[in-house]
Amino acid sequence: MNMAGRSMVTIDDLSNGEIEGLFSLADEMSDSMGQQATLCQGKIMASLFFEPSTRTRLSFETAMNRLGGRVISAVDIGATSLAKGESVADMARVAGSYADIIVIRHPWEGAAGVVAEYAGVPVINAGDGGHEHPTQTLCDLYTVKKERKTIKGLRIALSGDLKYGRTIHSLSYALARFGATILFHPYPGLEMPEYVLRKLTTRCKGKLRRYGALGTASKEGLFPIDAVYVTPSSPHQLAMIPDISMQVELEKDVDALYVTRIQKERQKETEGKETKNGHVVVDKELLKKKKFKKTIIMHPLPRVDELAYEVDGDPRSMYFKQAARGVPVRMALLALLLGAKEIIIPDVDDYSSVRQEDYPVYRRDSGLKCSNPKCITNQESEIRYIKPAFRIVSLKPLTLHCFFCEHELYPKYIASADWHEGKTETKKYHSATSSWIRRIQPEKLIIFDSEEEAQLRGFKPSSYVTRDTAPENTDI
């Protein structure tokens, strides 16, 4: 399969089969590193890292050099025209005219998606704020496959800062797609965002069980569990009895423990003060527990104090292998997107029932804005160029996902673009909870976040604004 010209902004940009094919190519390159030196000869990679990075940046640049290509770089926003107020879109156009492929890390969530839209060359997301870090997920999955031979049916615990850990967000999506069961252990106040959990439940075929439904069962667990995503590859009989299913999941061994540091650079000043009470340090004492006897320990690095140095020599510790494997994995990705290599796509299980492209996209200018202040669509220099866009992921209740950062939005009012032969007096807006939400075609739908915005645009309230619902057979 030829993947030339494509971008990788989120982990969803690659299918399970494409990921497996990429891993096979990474194996091939790892075994013959010296024979890859002419694959990308004459190609230039722009390395744009506007946040600190060691492993990701160096592994990408090493990968391109090993492929025979060259690297140009910018590593400080203050030293670029972005500091002068240049938009990311304009920067992307310019960088795309200099390079054949762009690798970007940026503090604004959704920035990589904007660069991919405007650059005109393949773009790889090396981390955009707290949103995603898809190539780290490739390294993580690759390590699990190398050490456990499969991902399907494994039980993987995610521990630490689940709120701002972009590696955790990408990884949870991928693990669910490959059929793993996920145990969530967040530090207090740093729980997995609801939009991430809802994405797991709406797009994958497993079930999410909240810790609160377990009663005292969690006391038998490995440590306090916030929630468990139970893969559909679990026995059907257990899935039919949620409490028993959860008890069984907690009693089983853990195949992998993925640890992350607290992302202090993304926290608000009022956050993180209660985390010490739930801060579990992975050390020799923890690994003595029966549940961890065969557990591999993973970490995207850098670490702070959540992972003890005393376990570095433990054969179960995989984090330095993770970092080293980043080079062949990124070599394979660069070669594929630059068209230097093709892969055979194997037939593999995919536990996703809905993909992003299955949702209608809402791009109409109705004053609707993303609820995430860190989204690129809310940055002053970008507003002139980037129009908010959303995926309509649910009608009951009306739920939108930002096209760029995937945060959720629950608008309150709707209208139709079909204004009854253009008569001003029939320009009415309705409650989003009324039956109108199912009667208006998606391409005709107009969405408002407030009555003020609807009225500012010439719409008047209908009789369904003050009601929660309207009869299904109501006439227009």
pLDDT in tens, 336-387: 999 999 999 988 888 887 776 688 999 998 999 999 999 999 987 787 788 8
pLDDT of residue 213: 41
Q: Is the pLDDT of residue 331 over 80?
A: yes
130 vs 193: CA distance, rounded Å: 11
Task: Indicate if the pLDDT at residue 219 is higher than 60.
Answer: no
pLDDT at residue 11 is higher than 70: yes
Write out the H or E segment, with its range, that includes residue 182: strand 181-186
- Topology (CATH) of 11-129+326-337: Rossmann fold (3.40.50)
Determine the residue type at 177.
Answer: R
Q: pLDDT at residue 295 above 60?
A: yes
Task: Return the CATH fold of 135-322.
Answer: Rossmann fold (3.40.50)
Residue 303 has pLDDT above 70, yes or no: yes
Q: What is the pTM of this model?
A: 0.86
How much is the average pLDDT of 98-108? 96
Q: In the predicted model, what is the mean pLDDT of residues 284-313?
A: 85
Q: Which of the pair, 268 or 376, is modelled with greater confidence?
A: 376
Averaged pLDDT of the chain: 84
Alpha carbon distance 379, 388 (integer Å): 11
Answer yes or no: are the C-beta atoms of 439 and 445 closer than 8 Å.
no
pLDDT at residue 447 tops 90: yes
pLDDT band at 467 (very low <50, low <70, confident <90, very high): very low
Rounded distance between C-alpha atoms, residue 231 and residue 134, angstroms? 21
Domains 11-129+326-337 and 135-322 agree in fold: yes
Q: 86 CB contacts (<8 Å, ≥6 apart)? A: 80, 381
Instruction: Please tell me which residue, 283 or 446, carries the higher pLDDT value.
Output: 446
CA–CA gap between residue 371 and residue 405 (Å, rounded): 10
Q: Are 137 and 112 in contact (CB under 8 A)?
A: no
Check residues 87 and 95 and name the one with the higher pLDDT: 95
pLDDT of residue 419: 66
Is 426 a residue whose pLDDT tops 90?
Answer: no
For 35-56, write each residue's pLDDT tens digit.
999 999 999 999 999 988 888 9
> What are the structural domain ranges in the chain?
11-129+326-337, 135-322, 356-461
Q: Which among 142, 197, 209, 206 has a CA at the least distance from the CA of 179?
A: 206
Q: Cα angle vertex 404, ends 174, 129, to 5°? A: 75
In single-letter form, the type of residue at position 409 comes to L
- The most confident of the ranges 23-32, 80-89, 234-243, 352-361 is 23-32
Residue 473 has pLDDT above 50, yes or no: no
Helix segments in 150-214, DSSP class H: 166-177, 194-203
Rounded CA separation 131/224 (Å): 25
**Interval 136-162: pLDDT, tens:** 999 999 999 999 999 999 999 998 888
**CATH topology (fold) of 356-461:** SH3 type barrels. (2.30.30)
Give the span between the Cα atoms of 367 and 375, in whole angstroms: 16
pLDDT surpassing 90 at residue 308: no
Backbone angles phi, psi at 446, to 5 degrees: -120, 130
Three-class SS state of 306:
coil
Of 241, 166, 229, the residue nearest 199 (C-alpha): 229
Chain length of the chain? 476
- Mean pLDDT of the 24-42 span: 93
Tell me what pLDDT residue 161 has. 86
Question: How does residue 263 score in pLDDT terms, banded at 50, 70 and 90?
Answer: low
Contact between residue 32 and residue 4 where contact means Cβ atoms under 8 Å apart: no
Instruction: Please give the pLDDT value at position 423.
Output: 61
Element (H, E) at 104: strand 101-106
Which residues make beta-bridge pairs with 460? 428
Range of weakest confidence among 14-28, 292-306, 332-346, 359-373: 292-306
